[in-house]
Amino acid sequence: MTDRIAKLEIDGESYEFPVLSGSVGPDVIDIRTLYAKTGHFTFDPGYTSTGSTESAITYIDGNQGTLLYRGYPIEQLAEKSSFLEVSYLLLNGELPSKAEFAEFEEKITRHTMLHEQMVKFFEGFRRDAHPMAIICGAVGAMSAFYHDSTDITDPKQRVIASHRLIAKMPTIAAWAYKYSVGQPFIYPRNDLGFAANFLRMCFAVPAEEYVVSPTMARAMDRIFTLHADHEQNASTSTVRLAGSSHANPFACIASGVASLWGPAHGGANEACLNMLREIGSVDRIPEFIARAKDKNDPFRLMGFGHRVYKNFDPRAKVMQQTAHEVLSELGVENNPTLQVAQELERIALEDDYFIEKKLYPNVDFYSGIILDAIGFPTSMFTAIFAMARTVGWISQWKEMIDDPKQKIGRPRQLYTGATTRDYTDISDR
Ligand code: SDX
């Protein structure tokens, strides 16, 4: 709280609203009493100037290119931590001690299996179903398989549901992939780390053992860390709004999966690799840059631009470095898609349109190149984003449910439709 006041004058009447400060970042004008005092709503479609909640989880500075998880810079966590340790940090607010981490890792490891009846649930889908369609359905269906962790008023059930979601998303995503390629499901193994377990469930076959490459496992773990949380983005806001009605956590996370799927959000990694492939070679880049700048062409450079980052997305820098590590380990560093991506980035960052509109590569620009090199089809890219973001969604949901001031989210509107009029019989129309 500050002692600063914001003044608003409407039709000669003056109104005052408190200005609140957080620990870092822009101050906010507390307008919770605006409608009661003035009979006016604010109007901010897309929430470009609206803080929807107080939060202590993730901080982003779009001009500085800063991303902090509970105060720790993403660059340090990506280099020194692990996805499971970052998951503990996001959920609990502090890095775990050795004993705390061992207990958390044990809990997650023992929740990776799915209820065996879910195998039949998967078999209800067409084989060519998009993995995100399957994941959306399977996560929502968890409400029907794990009744003993759907009561959000019971703190113990909230914790179990959180662990189940973090632990089972890799199995659900891997099985969605296996189902789409017609291969048998591979069950999780408790002797493997989080990322290695996921890679094995995706790429092992019963006919032979699959040895997980430590470099690939490290790259996947880093990709999970980079995608774990991101303040009040579209899918997290969807989870919070769904959770504000006290819907069960599985239903809330399913709503986050649905929102993330959009190509303007998490679906951009799939759309970006498809775009890079469509460009195909460096000499076609100017044609696509021109299309991206053409107001009459709906085409946008996928993997470019961000609502908050107006300088650079710190995750994109770590992702670019990881791409080089993975491609050189695979001996494909002259990968044509990577060459197109790097040349596209170079040209775009020198182009006045992109400089003026502050468009830089975002987290989705390089991630697809890494996932493609590891062997995932583009249809799995957003599924992997959803797996990682589940801990962020759950942490934000938990913060909201734990807030004693929590209310159901219910925005208002500027109504521009017909005013009251009388019904006329069809014979008179
Ligand atoms: C993610 O919010 C998050 O934190 C999301 C995320 C997370 O971790 O949760 O970071 C993950 O979703 C990253 C973003 C992935 N999406 C894409 O890469 C899709 C392509 N990018 C855009 O569609 C767009 O940049 C958004 C959606 C990401 C941001 O859109 P904004 O903030 O609403 O900005 P805008 O659409 O108002 O664009 C501002 C201007 C516009 O021009 P004008 O109308 O002002 O003339 O920039 C232009 C846009 O036309 N513009 C682009 C562009 N992005 C914006 N022009 C060409 N190519 C682009 N990619």
Convert the pLDDT of each residue in 285-327 to its tens digit.
999 999 999 999 999 999 999 999 998 899 999 999 998 889 9
Residue 338: which pLDDT band, with cuts at 50, 70 and 90?
confident
Burial 278-291 (b: 16+ CB within 10 A, else e): ebeeeeebeebbee
CA-based nearest residue to 400, from 89, 154, 150, 53? 53
Task: Give the model confidence (pLDDT) of 121-166 as tens digits.
Answer: 999 999 999 999 999 999 999 999 999 999 999 999 999 999 999 9
Q: How many residues does the chain have?
A: 429
**pLDDT on residue 343:** 93
Q: Ligand 1 pocket check: which of 265, 285, 293, 360 to mutate, most ligand atoms within 8 Å of Cβ?
A: 265
User: Which residue's CA lies nearest to atom 48 of ligand 1?
Assistant: 357
User: Which residue's CA lies nearest to atom 40 of ligand 1?
Assistant: 357
Q: Ligand 1 pocket check: which of 275, 279, 299, 304 to mutate, most ligand atoms within 8 Å of Cβ?
A: 304
Task: Give the model confidence (pLDDT) of 218-269 as tens digits.
Answer: 999 999 999 999 999 999 999 999 999 999 999 999 999 999 999 999 999 9
List all residues whose CB is within 6 A of at least one atom of ligand 1. Answer: 230, 233, 264-266, 268, 292, 300-307, 357, 359, 362-364
Task: Give the model confidence (pLDDT) of 49-80 as tens digits.
Answer: 999 999 999 999 999 999 999 999 999 999 99
CA of 295 to the centre of ligand 1 (A): 14
Q: Ligand 1 pocket check: which of 297, 359, 382 to mutate, most ligand atoms within 8 Å of Cβ?
A: 359
Q: Which residues are catalytic?
A: 306, 364
Average pLDDT on 38-52 reads 97
User: Which residue's CA lies nearest to atom 43 of ligand 1?
Assistant: 357
DSSP 59-108: EEETTTTEEEETTEEHHHHHHH--HHHHHHHHHHSSPPPHHHHHHHHHHH
**pLDDT on residue 61:** 96
What's the predicted TM-score (pTM) here?
Answer: 0.94
Give all domains of the chain, ordered by start, each with its CATH number: 5-51 (2.20.28.60), 74-225+234-261 (1.10.580.10), 267-374 (1.10.230.10)
Task: Give the model confidence (pLDDT) of 167-211 as tens digits.
Answer: 999 999 999 999 999 999 999 999 999 999 999 999 999 999 899
User: Which residue's CA lies nearest to atom 15 of ligand 1?
Assistant: 265
CA of 363 to the centre of ligand 1 (A): 12
Residue 318 to residue 74: CA distance in whole angstroms: 9
Residue 419 to residue 89: CA distance in whole angstroms: 52
DSSP 6-71: EEEEETTEEEEEEEE--SSS--EE--TTHHHHHS-----GGGTT------SSEEEETTTTEEEETT
Which alpha helices (DSSP H) does 153-248 contain, by range?
A: 155-180, 194-203, 214-227, 234-243
Task: Give the model confidence (pLDDT) of 348-376 as tens digits.
Answer: 889 999 999 999 899 899 999 999 999 99
Residue 347 to residue 20: CA distance in whole angstroms: 42
**Does 419 score more than 90 pLDDT?**
yes
User: Which residue's CA lies nearest to atom 12 of ligand 1?
Assistant: 265
Residue 198 to residue 386: CA distance in whole angstroms: 13
Percent of the chain exceeding pLDDT 70 equals: 100
Three-state SS at 306? coil
Across the beta sheet with 28-29, the strand order is 5-10, 13-20, 28-29
